[in-house]
Structure 1
Amino acid sequence: MKLGKTNIRQLSLSELQEYFGSIGEKPFRAKQVYEWLWLRHATSFDGMTNLSRELRAKLEEHFTLPAVQVDTTQHSNDGTIKNRFKLHDGHLVEGVLIPTDTRQTACVSSQVGCSLSCKFCATGYMDRKRNLEFDEIFDEVALLNEQAMGAYGKKLSNIVFMGMGEPLLNYKNVLASIERITSPDGLGMSPKRITVSTAGVAKMIRQLGDDKVKFNLALSLHAANDEKRSQIMPINETNNLKVLIEALNYFYKQTQNQISFEYILFKDFNDSLKDADELIRVYRQVPADLVNIIEYNPISNARFQKPEEEVADAFMEYLGKHRVNARLRRSRGKDIDAACGQLANKG
């Protein structure tokens, strides 16, 4: 990308109108370009065929259109599709399309790498290079939507910010991307079908409440006491369970939006009935709708293992007996490293 040029997608419709006015063009040209950018998902000025060649050349001269591109695609035996996306500066992130009979879910990334170093997550072993811009996140979703239409004849039904990075440490761009995704002149998706997952940044969870966001929130819990959680998630040392519980209650009071917990089962670490009791205690302190119990997906850097099936079943049965709304989430795309915790830009 050349220095001195502005990314055209960073401009609002009124700023585009102002630009076209300044070069003596009719105001409706701004609307045409805006539609190309957000509704038709143009990846170049050349593709904007209802503009004159001269006008397209002028846009090329003054602006950039750094569209995200699919670098590689892998297809799992279970129908899951993993993409490695290439950004304009050569950085790579991953996004996953997860199809089921009732849903087409996009799992998207918000950062290149991650700074939180969670011990069970492949992305946690990578350095954080930079945040994604809001238009790059939008591109991920738009490309996955096109993929869902092409492969399954259905549009995306759900979006989860559970890919690479911590969404709440890229707060402004994540919220701006959701505004575009949910806008009628974007993808027009309901915010109730979007879930942002966080490792637990209490201050920003409260900010979500103050901003009265309309999407759902998931907390990656994975251990329900501070000692264990700090061992696997260093962020817990500055955002402990008490502080997170208070923040989640504040978020709910401000928004009434759905809250869920994510809890990966690790063999001989957090899979005992005592661990289940601690999870129940946390669950009862927050108006959470659901606890997603997740199968652990091995990664080369970590020592964790998946518990035996009977241990996982006993854990689930115990939660059910204590009236916890829990669901065992079978991982998808394990054969292509596309499952929960496995995203690390492998080809």
Structure 2
Amino acid sequence: MLKDIRELTLEEIEELVESWTEPKYRATQIYEWLWQKSAHTFDDMTNLSKGLRDKLKEHYVIHGIEPLQTQVSNDRTIKNAFKLHDANIVEAVLIPTKSRMTVCVSSQVGCSLTCSFCATGKLKRIRNLTAGEIYDQVAMVNKQAIEEYEIPLSNIVYMGMGEPLLNYQNVLKSIEHITSPEGLNMSPSRITLSTAGVTKLIKKLGDDEVKFNLAVSLHAANDEKRSELMPINDANSLAELKEAIVYFYSKTGTRLTYEYIMFHQLNDTMQDAKELAEFCKITPCKINLIEYNPVEGDPFKCSSSDRIGAFKNFLEQKNLIVNVRRSRGKDIDAACGQLANKNIAN
């Protein structure tokens, strides 16, 4: 099986072309085609000789992704299904708002974490995405944003299918390419990685002194409730999560975001608010309260507007920064927790 050339670094491509007695600058041209211009075939690389293109085809492939299906919500959110080279499917969502143009990208095919409220968690985890497959989602949706709304992407969130930290190397490599001048040249401050709380890898992010933002899917600040919602809590308790977050902040100085889905009479009481406020004292942070988005077969209901409002007010009285995040794309199953390759026509 031929290797995907996008797994090579620029230095490795330089060594490759020189071993073929090609000038070193050809490597930069190839690299720009792969990342800046998102070429998906070697024949696209028109400033290379046919002989070099043929040699590349003989030894390497480019495993790009293909648009499979697009659904547009009443609120202008666009859900994209992409087909991978091995026929697996992932989804990415373009979320246009007044102040931002955001893409939500996937990092895995399926997910192994089985969060009880998440549609993706009901899918079997099949494999990690490559850095190129993650990058392609961003590049293609950026093009879509310009074509549909005449505005390029302003923000990227790793909140789609999969747990990004369980695909650590490829996710970080994709961010390197997205932020590189040879790639999309986006600022890391406009990128947010969301995790369910893999504590040892949160610490590794700190050791790697990453420059992007980190969001933690919390959903309860009580071990019993959190384990009910998120089985990952059994092996990554709130005490361990606190320790990892404090460590991450000490290394990066980056303010965290906590994601907190509001479930009716499950995690929306004043006691829950007190526990959350206590947990959030550990480092500077902001809290996103998220309306629960129904998933077929789930027993949960969304908290009422009154309960969400009272919850928010309590947290604000504790001098915490709180936003209520209104879900977008619900009608096409594109909202938070709803990505599950549903209604895709193959």
CA distance in 2, matches of 1:325, 1:247: 21
- Residue 81 of structure 1 corresponds to 78
CA distance in 1, matches of 2:125, 2:313: 39
Q: Is the 8 Å Cα contact of residues 195 and 216 (structure 1) preserved in structure 2?
A: yes
- Residue 70 of structure 1 corresponds to 67
1:53 is displaced (CA, Å) by 2.6
- Residue 334 of structure 1 corresponds to 330
Q: Is the 8 Å Cα contact of residues 133 and 173 (structure 1) preserved in structure 2?
A: yes
1:317 partner letter: N
Q: Where do 4+ consecutive residues of structure 1 move more than 6 Å?
A: none
1:320 is displaced (CA, Å) by 1.9
Describe how 1:44-123 pairs up with structure 2 within 5 A.
Answer: 44-123=41-120
CA distance in 2, matches of 1:287, 1:316: 17
Q: Is the 8 Å Cα contact of residues 255 and 283 (structure 2) preserved in structure 1?
A: no
Q: Is the 8 Å Cα contact of residues 290 and 324 (structure 2) preserved in structure 1?
A: yes
CA distance in 2, matches of 1:226, 1:286: 19
1:321 is displaced (CA, Å) by 2.3
- Of 104-113 and 6-15, deviating more is 6-15
Structure 1: tracts of 5 or more residues without a match: none
- Of 14-23 and 100-109, deviating more is 14-23
SS at the partner of 1:341? coil
- Pair 1:236-2:237 in alignment: no
Structure 2: tracts of 5 or more residues without a match: none
CA distance in 1, matches of 2:105, 2:188: 15
SS at the partner of 1:244? helix
Match of 1:152 among 143, 149, 157: 149
- Structure 1, residues 77-99: CA drift from partner, whole Å, max 9, x if none? 11111111111111111101111
- Residue 295 of structure 2 corresponds to 299
TM-score norm. by structure 2 comes to 0.97
- Structure 1, residues 129-182: CA drift from partner, whole Å, max 9, x if none? 001111111111111111111111111111111001111111111111111111
TM-score norm. by structure 1 comes to 0.97
- Residue 307 of structure 2 corresponds to 311
SS at the partner of 2:176? helix
Describe how 1:196-275 pairs up with structure 2 within 5 A.
Answer: 196-275=193-272
1:55 is displaced (CA, Å) by 2.3
Q: Is the 8 Å Cα contact of residues 249 and 287 (structure 1) preserved in structure 2?
A: no
1:322 is displaced (CA, Å) by 2.3
Q: Is the 8 Å Cα contact of residues 75 and 336 (structure 1) preserved in structure 2?
A: yes
CA distance in 2, matches of 1:205, 1:318: 28
1:317 is displaced (CA, Å) by 1.8
1:6 partner letter: K
- Structure 1, residues 214-241: CA drift from partner, whole Å, max 9, x if none? 1111110001100100011001011111
- Of 254-263 and 52-61, deviating more is 52-61
- Residue 319 of structure 2 corresponds to 323
- Pair 1:38-2:39 in alignment: no
CA distance in 2, matches of 1:104, 1:303: 33
Q: Is the 8 Å Cα contact of residues 120 and 341 (structure 1) preserved in structure 2?
A: yes
1:337 partner letter: D
SS at the partner of 2:260? strand
**CA RMSD for the aligned pairs?**
1.0
Q: Is the 8 Å Cα contact of residues 226 and 240 (structure 1) preserved in structure 2?
A: yes
2:161 partner letter: M
1:24 is displaced (CA, Å) by 2.2
1:314 is displaced (CA, Å) by 1.5
CA distance in 1, matches of 2:65, 2:8: 18
Q: Is the 8 Å Cα contact of residues 98 and 106 (structure 1) preserved in structure 2?
A: yes
- Pair 1:16-2:13 in alignment: yes
CA distance in 2, matches of 1:309, 1:331: 13
1:212 is displaced (CA, Å) by 0.7
SS at the partner of 2:95? strand
Match of 1:162 among 149, 159, 174: 159
